[in-house]
Amino acid sequence: MGGRLLIETPNTDGWDRRLFAGGAWGGYYFPRHLNLYSFERLAELLHRVGLTVESQRNLPAPLIWIYSLQGAVQARFGWKSSLTKIFGVKNIPLIAAFAFLDIAAIAMRFKTSNQQAISRKV
């Protein structure tokens, strides 16, 4: 009664998705993300199931950047390339750099590859 639903999911309108249009975009993270949404598509889905969207916002997506770069490097140089280790999830300075990049992008009103929607029952 009166609860809210919070969803975080990749955003297909993220500005970095265009950089990895060849298929390496980290938001495709299969099998975790079988359905992908833009802000508009997610709001439409929530409305269709009887929920009203209270807010939607962009969130930093540093791991999507990491997975995107890993995929691009692997496509170019192969799975066993030593470069894939540089773009790994254990590279904390690189993750921090991408988080800062996305925070700056959000401040400039760019859409990132991660979104949050908060909704409630109508």
Give pLDDT, residue 122: 77
Average pLDDT over residues 85-98: 91
CA 20 to chain centre: 12
Plot region of 10 (φ>0 → left; ψ -120 to 50 → alpha; else → beta): beta
SS3 110: coil
Q: How far apart are CA 69 and CA 77, in angstroms?
A: 12
Cβ contact 26:112 at 8 Å: no
Give mean pLDDT, residues 107-122.
95
Confidence band of 91 (pLDDT split at 50, 70, 90)? very high
For the whole model, what pTM was predicted? 0.86
State yes or no: pLDDT of 47 exceeds 90.
Answer: yes
Q: What pLDDT was estimated at residue 1?
A: 63
| Tokens (6 digits) for 8 | 């975080």
